[in-house]
Amino acid sequence: MKNSIIYIFFVLLVTASCTNSPKTIAYGTDHCHFCSMTIVDKQHAAQFMTKKGRSYAFDASECMLNHLKEIDRATVETFLVNDYNAPGELIDATQATYLISKNIPSPMGEYLTAFATKEAAEKAQSDNKGELYTWEQLNNRYK
């Protein structure tokens, strides 16, 4: 009986350690992997997961994009950004629509904000002005 419990414990431990899901960002405690600032802004933080399951958190989408210049992008499995309209909620960065508007400050001063839908981004654009970008357009800008 004791050996069975130990076996089940190790199986659960191995299974849990092999999951390739995003890690929860500890706002106010975690630090940006690119600029080392404490991550506090739940509307602009970002994260990516490598294919090996390692997680990197950033205080702003622009920090993640700048960090991507230094690594092989093919090693990344998942890109995530905070949805501006749902603070703390990470969404697929490749499907988000981005607004660069001087009227919406971001932690690193590049005024870059992500939205879950194009309609939400267009609404923010009509209220704050600025330019809309897709993930591909944004990556070309940050090459």
> Amino acid identity of 119?
E
Nearest to 27 by CA among 5, 59, 55: 59
Summarised one tens digit per residue, pLDDT across range 24-50 is: 999 999 999 999 999 999 999 999 999
Summarised one tens digit per residue, pLDDT across range 70-112 is: 999 999 999 999 999 999 999 999 999 999 999 999 999 999 9
CB 44 within 8 A of CB 107: yes
Summarised one tens digit per residue, pLDDT across range 2-25 is: 666 555 555 544 444 555 678 999
The ranges assigned to domains in the chain are: 46-142
Report pTM: 0.84
